[in-house]
Amino acid sequence: MTVSRPAACAALLAGLLAVGTGAAAADPDEGHRLRGWTIATQLCSPCHVIGRVPQAGDAMGPSFVRIANMPSTTGLALNVFLQSHHQRMPSLRLDRDEMDAVIDYILSLKEAEAIRP
């Protein structure tokens, strides 16, 4: 039985990847955003609605869609925000790449560009 296990895992993983990245799997940007979405799910979703659909729990921060569509939101502004201290939002320790991925994901929510993980 142990012999077939890696094969089964690989098949499962391939299936998950295909579902997760959809038709745009060949686009590296899409993978980066997806990583950002994964990080946001883990770190930001307790306080922010991170996608386009309503989410359980009480969001105490603005939704990411709202943030993305504020005129003041740019990659640079998000960078500065995430590296500074805030009063009501805790400082989150993300490494450079995690931060880039999350920012990429948030910016992807602008208008109609969103991915649907």
* φ, ψ dihedrals at 10, nearest 5°: -60, -40
Half-sphere exposure at residue 9, Cβ-oriented, CA atoms within 13 angstroms: 6
Helix (H, G, I), strand (E, B), or coil: what is residue 50? coil
Nearest to 100 by CA among 27, 13, 36, 20: 36
Segment contacting ligand HEC by CB under 6 A, of 9-17, 21-29, 86-94, 108-116:
86-94
Question: Are 24 and 30 spatial neighbours (Cβ–Cβ below 8 Å)?
Answer: yes
Is 89 a residue that touches ligand HEC (CB under 6 A)?
yes
* Single residue of 14, 46, 52, 97 touching ligand HEC by CB under 6 A: 46
Among 60, 69, 74, 80, binds ligand HEC (CB under 6 A): 60
Q: Is 68 in the site for ligand HEC (CB under 6 A)?
A: no
Instruction: Name the site residues for ligand HEC (rule: CB under 6 A).
Output: 40, 43-44, 46-48, 60-62, 67, 78, 81-82, 86-90, 92, 102
